[in-house]
Amino acid sequence: MATEYVKLVDVTKCDGCRACMVACKNWNDLPAEPQDFLGTMQSHANVSADTWNVLTFVEHENSKGGLDYLFRHSSCYHCVDAACEKVCPESAISYTDFGSVVIDHDKCVGCGYCEQNCPFDVISLKEYKDKNGKEYRKANKCTMCTDRLEEGLQPACVTTCHPGAMQFGEKEEMLQKAEKRVSEIKERYPNATIYNPAGVGGTHTIYVLAEKPSVYGMPENPKVPTSAVLWKDYAQPIGKAMVGGVTMALVGAFVANKFFDKKGKEHEEDGGDRHE
């Protein structure tokens, strides 16, 4: 593999200005999604098909009895071992040389397995209509601005980040910076940590956090679902060998319903789409 790159997000330098959110929409030409009032400064509850990064705001009473107001740029983690890539029956999701995980809309059939299996909840389906009024769906998420990387530019969010809370660079260098930073801020934030979870093989968006991941609403130990591993590494190759790639989506639909549909049931119980 070529040199591995990561986006390092040092949330302890973030001042919550949300320029990253606007820069993302600007570069990627994403429409606004007006929301109901959420009761905090946070604008959107989660990332969505049209809002690829969200600045989260958490009021946290820390172990010293003081108040922390914690900000975090949240978007796709670009896992080294990406569940979305594993479960995609059409191989529409792939890794780039930069380490980013991208979706090929020409191949995506909108089956939604990626959305259901992402351990971080950062992929979403969007409804489109073709010129005949026919509805179809495609998965969307942060691309790490791979189109910019290919032109030698940095991701739009990184470029716009004025306090330097985000950097994009070679993985080893970024990890060293992260370790140095954590040691610098330990006195103020005793729970400071690097977030680069091993359960997904590490990520290409690595965080310096002031608090435990759960304080930010992040999974402490995210894992690629076993079902996804089974599917990608065992069932799919065998299946493709037996029936050919073209019909794999049909087989996939059957298998996937058995394997992956844990979230679909929750949706029914909620009676709604979690992205609204």
Partner 1 sequence: MTNHWSDIQHSDCALIMGANPAENHPISFRWLTKAQEKGGKIVSVDPRFTRTSAKADVYAQLRSGTDIAFMGGMIKYALDNELYHKDYVVNYTNASFILKDTYEFNDGIFSGYDEPTRKYDKTQWAFETDEEGNPVKDMTLKHPRSVFQMMKNHYSRYDADTVCSVTGTPKEDFLKVCEAFCATGAPDKAGTILYAMGTTQHTVGTQNVRAFGMIQLLLGNMGLPGGGLNAMRGESNVQGSTDFGLLYNNLTGYLGAPTMLHPTLEAYNEKETPSAGYWSNKPKFLVSLLKAWYGPNATKDNEFGYQYLPKGNKNYSHINLFSAMYKGELEGAFLFGTNPVVGGPNAGKEKEALGNLKWLVAADLWETESASFWQKEAGSNPSAISTEVFLLPAASSYEKEGSVSNSSRWMQYRWQAIKPKGQSLADLEIIHEMYLHLKDLYKNEKTPAAKPFNALDWNFGKGNHPDIDLVCKEINGYDLTTGKLVPGFGALKDDGTTTSGNWIYSGFYPEEGNNRAKSRDNKDTGGGNYLNWSFAWPANRRILYNRAAADLNGKPWSKKTAIIWWDASQKKWVGNDVPDFVVDRAPTDPGGTNPYTMLKDGVAGLFAGNLNDGPFPEHYEPFESPVANAFSSQDSNPAIQLFDGEFNLKGDYKQFPIVATTYRVSEHWQSGSMTRNQEWLSELVGHMFVEISEELAKEKGIKNKDKVIVSSARGEIEAYAMVTKRFKPYTIQGQKVHHIGMPWHFGYKGFATGDTANRLTPHIGDANTTIPEYKAFLCNVRRAN
Give binding residues as ranges: 14, 17, 20, 24, 76, 79, 84, 88, 108, 111, 114, 118, 142, 145, 157, 161
* Cα–Cα dist 117/191, whole Å: 29
Residues contributing to the site for partner 1 (CB under 8 A) = 13, 15-19, 21-22, 25-26, 31-35, 37-41, 43-44, 59, 61, 67-71, 162-164, 188
Distances (CA, A) of 116 to 96, 182, 202, 213, 215: 22, 33, 20, 21, 23
* Residue nearer to partner 1 on the CB measure, 53 or 116: 53
Closest CB 186 distance from partner 1, rounded Å: 15
Closest CB 210 distance from partner 1, rounded Å: 10
* Cα–Cα dist 266/271, whole Å: 8
Closest CB 78 distance from partner 1, rounded Å: 24
Binding annotation for [4Fe-4S] cluster: 14, 17, 20, 24, 76, 79, 84, 88, 108, 111, 114, 118, 142, 145, 157, 161
* Residue nearer to partner 1 on the CB measure, 70 or 80: 70
* Residue nearer to partner 1 on the CB measure, 18 or 232: 18
The residue type found at 39 is: G
Closest CB 21 distance from partner 1, rounded Å: 7
* Residue nearer to partner 1 on the CB measure, 29 or 130: 29
The residue type found at 215 is: V
Q: Is the dihedral of CA 149, 21, 212, 228 positive or negative?
A: negative
* Residue nearer to partner 1 on the CB measure, 43 or 91: 43
Name, in order, each residue with C-beta under 8 angstroms of 235's C-beta and a sequence gap of 6 or more.
255
* Cα–Cα dist 112/209, whole Å: 30
* Cα–Cα dist 138/87, whole Å: 15
* Residue nearer to partner 1 on the CB measure, 165 or 255: 165
- Greatest CA separation found in the chain? 62
Closest CB 18 distance from partner 1, rounded Å: 6
Residue 231: name the closest of 134, 62, 114 by CA.
Answer: 114
Closest CB 203 distance from partner 1, rounded Å: 24
Instruction: Write phi, then psi, for 39 (nearest 5 degrees).
Output: 85, 0
